[in-house]
Homo-oligomer: A and B are copies of this chain.
Amino acid sequence: MESQTLDPKIQLALEQYKALEEKIAHFVMIGGLLEWDQKVTAPKKGRAIFAKAIGTFRTEEFKLSISEEMGELLHILSAEDVYEQLDEITQAQIRERSEEYNRSKKIPAEMYRDYVVLTAKANDAWEEARETNQFGVFQPYLEKIVDYNRKVAEIYGYEQHPYDALLHQYEPGLSVAVLDPLFAKLRETSVALLEKIKKSGNKPSTEIFEQDYDVEQQKKFNTYFLPIIGFDMQAGRLDETVHPFAQTMNTGDVRLTTRYVENNVRSAVFGTIHEAGHGIYEQNIDPRLEGTALSTGVSFGIHESQSRFLENMVGRSEQFWTLFYPKIQEYFPQQLGHVSQQDFYRAVNTVQPTMIRVEADELTYNLHIMIRYEIEKAVIGGEIEVKDLPAVWNQKMHEYLGITPATDTEGVLQDVHWSFGGFGYFPSYSLGNLYAAQLLNTIVRELPDFYSNIEAGNFAAIQAWLKENVHQYGKLYTPEQLIRKVTGEDLKADYLVHYLEEKYSRIYSL
């Protein structure tokens, strides 16, 4: 459309811009493959050499997005009278690219270079601190990382809280003002619910998981259910890594990994379902967005909502196991042949406070996030100092979960995120749960057969709804716009709170 009315000079700039965006999209695709390959297929001895090649490649990729050419084109196309003539997709591209371009340009090159060196060293220090169980080894590096992130917050700018500038990197538009009441409600109700659960006389038993489950059989079961729940195996793969992840090359090539543990059959099953949630999202983005920076999920939070929705709302539902329990029994007759479906269902929904976030259940998981959120906010805001983190951590663990880490390694040192400076990242995980519950509330209204569809193995109907309402749009809208468009309202804590209370009241006979 714009091609008929635009000034020829603008038209030329538009074409150059689109070509440059496509080139960047191609580089991003290749970069994704390089990372995937290093983690999944590259033989050990070649990785160090290949890492240098990836460094060269990433430099070229980065140069494209901050090139003078890009700056000039964005300048031309962002001019108000030009921008308003562009179509929706191009406008969104320019919105996203300008954001990134401006952010990259604001940080002095030298400051960023020093930071890359710092985080590399910090990662080593973090590993050493974990091994020797001494927070002090990591502390000086973390202090510098915090300083950097405070500076970055000032450079990027914010309205109310410096932490807003960091949150914004992972969830555009998000702020402490929005998060505080959401998380406060979630935290308070979760702590209260956990108290009730602890006192319940009707606790599920997880003994059935304390058996050996043959890894080859696990692989067969995971490969069996993955396409059924909606992941297109012609447009993706499932491989094995120590840390499960999903990597998208393009909508026709989305690669998942999972982890098989002999004495933990749950690990692979829910890991696979979780990553499938990420993967199905990316497989179903509108092909019109291919070759642009919009052909990916909206934000970390919305992406996580898709993995959590599939893992928890679908994969931990009774109906899911009505469908798949007979099948998993077939794969593990000795381990599960004598276990009732109800006992299995309750076992995969056990609530049990643990020290480690990544092992947490659906309810206590958010409490782990609250601890990190509150610490990050306070440390970036200058209210607490890095040296006090272990004590603050342990105190909050005790307060929210009722347990206290015996060591820093199983406490404040457990996550890698701070060592690479990922302040603002953690809230995405709980945001994902909040979005997922709000989406569930909408989907069961619009698709009253939601649960019977799961039971019948008719995932197509559910995936079609998700595609129609979420997946297809890629990054066309902001998270706020999208959630309002789909659910008719802004993000609320009520849906997740209600979902958790209802679910666990049933399971624990509260």
| Residues of A bordering B, CB below 8 Å | 22-23, 25-27, 29-30, 33-34, 37, 41-50, 52-54, 56-57, 60, 232-237, 249-255, 290-291
Contacts and interface: CB of A to CB of B under 8 A. Distances in A.
Chain A, interface SS category: helix
A290 to B, nearest CB: 6
Given A26-B56, A30-B30, A290-B49, A41 B252 contact: no
A26 B43 contact: no
B60 A253 contact: no
8 contacts: A22-B56, A30-B34, A46-B235, A46-B249, A46-B251, A49-B253, A53-B250, A60-B60
A45 B283 CA distance: 10
Contact of A252 (B23, B47, B251): B47
Nearest to A253: B46
Contacts of A56: 22-23, 26-27
Contacts of A57: 26-27, 30
A337 to B, nearest CB: 27
A255 B43 CA distance: 9
A48 B252 contact: yes
A60 B23 CA distance: 10
Given A41-B237, A43-B233, A48-B252, 14 more contacts: A26-B56, A27-B57, A29-B49, A29-B53, A30-B53, A33-B50, A43-B235, A45-B232, A45-B234, A45-B235, A45-B252, A46-B254, A49-B253, A49-B290
A233 B250 CA distance: 30
Contacts of A47: 252-253
Contacts of A44: 234-235, 252
